[in-house]
Amino acid sequence: MGDLTSRQKSHGNLKWILILSILTVFIVSTIITTDWLASGAVQGPFAEWETQDLGDNGGAYDFNEIVFVNSTHGWVIGWGILLNTNDSGDTWNIVIEERTLRGLSLISLTDIWVGGSGHLYHSIDGGASWNTIEGPTEGPTNLAFFNSTHGFAGDVDKLFRTTDGGVSWDDVTMQSGHYIPSDFQLTATTVRIASWTGIFRSDDWGETWYTEFDGRADAIDFISDDEGWSMNGANSYMYFNGEHWVDLEDIHRIGVSSLAYSRDVDFIDSNNGWVVGLSPSVAYTPDGGHTWYSQEWYGFDVRGPLLKSVFFLNETHGWAAGSYGIIASTTTGNLLGEQLYSGFFLTTPLSSGGRLIPYTSLFVGVVVTAIYLTLLLVWIRKRFRSQMVEARIENSKQDGPMIR
């Protein structure tokens, strides 16, 4: 009885040892494969970003949009503050301080609109003086103008259109509960509005609307009526191919996807685009989103400040802004960096056509584990047979010689 109990305990321990060894082989092989593939995913030279110094109070600002008219004149707006620069961002000047500032729209170097709470600010002299105009809504207002006469403004549940430069506003609310518009895209024929409840489109400048995408959209950016990109905030993004929105892979590093968050997207053509947010703070694609490269700076890596807006004039010159009063600029925006290896294709020795690194790592882990398990079973089988032979020999010795 004692031998039986001891043998059962031994078998139980062996079972757990086998399970743990299999899991260990799978995890270790997956990690080693990922590190090996990732080690070849660093491309250089790296893009360089430089932060602007806003003084002692700069860290208290929380910026949500940055826009430049040309290489020197730009504006940044946050909750309670509007700043401008005329030297490419080397210095910034406070223009308006109001707790409920929300929207910013630049029509030209001189024609500028800003959304407040219940009113709008309008300047026609580049911000030297401002007219306060009664707004179409009572709450914090986001807005966008296509030209000096035509624009949209909206807050929670309401959307308004002007065709006379803000003198009058028409209610063109598309549906109830669309939240504050998070982004606008206006062309001569097409209007798109992004919000937490979807992307809404009008082909007659607000007379009629339809839902182009049913789901959260924090930012949209179009280079034409038929080609654009959208971010949903959860580090996932979509591509509009002229007919419908296509889900694309997430942008983040393997192992830190729970920390990743994207807030804005800016493409200057079909190939060159940037996404900003958190982990990575800045990501760049030179091929329309097929591959992405991290453009971090001075330690803003896994848990840096959240960047909320990005704007590029061309392939090299761009700016970004976000939490903790961060305003950053680059003149090397088309250089690469660490290739992001969660969600995008890489050409590897394991797949000349490119395979997603997480999938490759898991595949290798499964194959290595299967090989290990096969060899383990062969060893166990041989071991079992050897023990059976030894047991038979031992039994024959104990039974004594057979009598014929």
| Per-residue pLDDT tens over the stretch 324-356 | 889 999 999 998 877 774 443 333 343 333 344
Residue 125 pLDDT greater than 70, yes or no:
yes
Query: Which pLDDT score, from 0 to 100, does residue 359 have?
Result: 55
> Is the pLDDT assigned to residue 2 strictly greater than 50?
no
Residue 305 is given by DSSP the state: P
Q: What is the DSSP letter of 340?
A: P
Q: Higher pLDDT residue, 117 or 120?
A: 120
Higher pLDDT, 195 or 391: 195
Please count the residues of the chain. 404
Q: Which of 13-22, 53-62, 295-304, 306-315 has the highest mean pLDDT?
A: 306-315
DSSP state string for 14-57: HHHHHHHHHHHHHHHHHHHHHHHHHHT-B-SSBP-EEEPP--TT
Q: How confident is the prediction for the chain on average, in pLDDT?
A: 79
Higher pLDDT, 367 or 69: 69
**Sheet hosting strand 327-330, strand order edge to edge:** 49-51, 327-330, 318-322, 307-312
If one counts every other C-beta atom within 10 angstroms of the C-beta of residue 287, the result is 11
Q: Is 32 exposed, middle or buried (0-12, 13-18, 19+ CB in 10 A)?
A: middle
Distance of CA 376 to the CA centre of its chain: 43
The pLDDT value recorded for residue 197 is 86
If DSSP codes are grouped into helix, strand and coil, which group holds residue 234? coil
> What SS3 class is residue 12?
helix
> What confidence tens digit (pLDDT) does each residue in 24-34 have?
777 776 666 66
Beta-carbon neighbour count of residue 153 at 10 Å? 27
**Residue, of 73 and 12, whose pLDDT is higher:** 73
